[in-house]
Amino acid sequence: MLVSHSRQVADLAVALSQRLIDNGTPIDIEFVEEAAMLHDIGMCRTDAPGIHCHGTEPYIMHGILGRQMLDSMGLFRHGRVCERHTGTGLTADEIVAEHLPITPARDLLPESLEEKVICYADKFFSKSRIGEPRKTLEGARKSLAKFGVATLQRFDDMLTLFGDPDDVMP
């Protein structure tokens, strides 16, 4: 399941990255593919039986756990992608306001183009319904709406940056 989801995210992130390159914006497309394949690695340590994960940590921690795992292997850049892809990223204020078990509370927002394109591509694919068609823009926005206006604004900023996925992968 995780490999299928990661492959879907990687394929879209690479296609979006190629469009950037074609338009003259440099991006490390090889890194994008590698990091997209690893972005959810921390899920294996979480308790999310609905997606076949039987670890002990809360699901919200999968990005932090992934970063720890990849950092321990010297894959620091890949680890940052893990840590910063949840939702459209998280701010310290959101972590505190939502009482998320992330300590210390700190901004975990995607910053580089590579981090952002993987975060964006991830919003179009379900981990629990592998094989379903990619979410539409409206479907992705609807999924994110429950997390508030700031989350949607970050998504819309990524949409402006990367464009409609239907334009690169119909």
pLDDT at residue 133, as a whole number:
86
SS3 assignment for the chain:
CHHHHHHHHHHHHHHHHHHHHHCCCCCCHHHHHHHHHHCCHHHHHEEEHHHCEECCECHHHHHHHHHHHHHCCCCHHHHHHHHHCCECEECHHHHHHCCCCCCCCCCECCCCHHHHHHHHHHCCCCCCCCCCCCCCHHHHHHHHHCCCHHHHHHHHHHHHHHCCHHHCCC
Residue 59 lies in a domain: yes
Per-residue pLDDT at 97 exceeds 90: yes
pLDDT tens per residue, range 61-87: 999 999 999 999 999 999 999 999 999
Report if residue 170 sits inside a domain: no
Torsion, Cα of 95, 89, 159, 129 (10° steps): -100
pTM (predicted TM-score):
0.96
Q: What is the pLDDT of residue 57?
A: 97
Enclosing domain of residue 145:
2-163
- Whether residue 8 lies inside any domain: the answer is yes
How many domains does the chain contain in total?
1
Classify residue 119: in a domain, yes or no: yes
- CATH code for the domain of 73: 1.10.3210
The type of residue at 72 is S
Task: Give the pLDDT confidence of 8-39 residue by residue, as tens digits.
Answer: 999 999 999 999 999 999 999 999 999 999 99
State residue 11's pLDDT score.
Answer: 97
pLDDT tens by residue, 99-134? 999 999 999 999 999 999 999 999 999 887 777 889
Residue 168 located in a structural domain: no
pLDDT recorded at residue 128: 78
More confident residue, 43 or 131: 43
